[in-house]
Amino acid sequence: MNIDLPFIWESLVELLTAIPTTLAITAVSMLCGLAIGTVVALIRMYKVPVLHSVAASYVTFIRGTPMLTHLLLIYFGLPLIVDALSAQFGWPFRSVNIPMITFAYISFSITAGAYLSEVVRSGLQAVDKGQIEAAYSIGMTTRQAISRIVFPQAFAILLPSLSNSTISMLHGSTLVFTVSVVDINAKSQIIASSNWKFFEAYIAAAAIYWGLTILIERLTAIVEKRINIYNRGGVT
């Protein structure tokens, strides 16, 4: 076997420059996805007329199709819509001006939104009904009760799933190579093919993904410890 060990190190150093891109895609998609997912979960839980069935279709469609397909649909579909609108209203804006990474942000946020809506829903449902009743009984509005009492407790419950979803998104974000965004994975492909050292470059990429995954797990553990103070003790 002939492995160029120093080259793994070189690749690793070079790949560091792509970490911000990967992290940005992961973070933006998860944050926007969490926002979308929360709204969708509330719409479905409170059975908001009309929106309720729109939300349900959104979730089943997205969960029933691959993340890569979402990316391709956005990549090819969004420019058509943008250009049509620009032509209609005489805007100077053209779809070629959209940065490539934007397609990743939009499409992955839509993907994450559907999955996270289920995560958020199960978190909200796991909060004891007595909690919101107690909030109502002291005169809170529904909005106050949800934001001050239900959400904080739901968040503690869904933190582990949220962490798993973040890791899935970190790994799934490798799909951006199809729309020419250079993340860690795409960069490792470039390094690999321009030096004809595929195995070494991919080992370096794997090491970085693994490191980032461990980082996410550690951060989760820290947050979990802090917000779960109230679940410890237990004289009851």
Partner 1 sequence: MIKLTQIKKSYGRHQVLKGIDLTVEKGEVVAILGPSGSGKTTLLRCMNYLERPSEGEITIDGFTVNCKRPSKSDIHSLRKQSAMVFQQYNLFRHKTALENVMEGLVVVQKVPKEQARKRSIELLEKVGLGSKLDAYPSQLSGGQQQRVGIARALALNPKVILFDEPTSSLDPELVGEVLSVIRKIAREGITMIIVTHEMSFAQEVAGHVIFIDDGMIVERGTPNELFNSPKEERTKQFLKRYTPDGVYSI
Binding site for partner 1 (CB under 8 A): 128, 130-131, 133-141, 144, 148-149, 152-153, 156, 227, 229-236
8: left (phi over 0), alpha (psi -120 to 50) or beta: alpha
Distances (CA, A) of 173 to 12, 24, 39, 106, 157: 19, 10, 23, 12, 26
Smallest separation (angstroms) from partner 1 to the CB of 224: 13
Smallest separation (angstroms) from partner 1 to the CB of 129: 9
- Closest to partner 1 by CB, 38 vs 173, is 38
- Closest to partner 1 by CB, 94 vs 148, is 148
- Closest to partner 1 by CB, 9 vs 46, is 46
Q: How far apart are CA 70 and CA 66, in angstroms?
A: 7
Smallest separation (angstroms) from partner 1 to the CB of 152: 5
Place of tokens 């199809």: 178
- Closest to partner 1 by CB, 92 vs 234, is 234
Smallest separation (angstroms) from partner 1 to the CB of 219: 20
Q: Annotate 59-96 with b (16+ C-beta within 10 A) or e (fewer).
A: beebeeeebeebbbebbeebeeebeeeeeeeeeeeeee
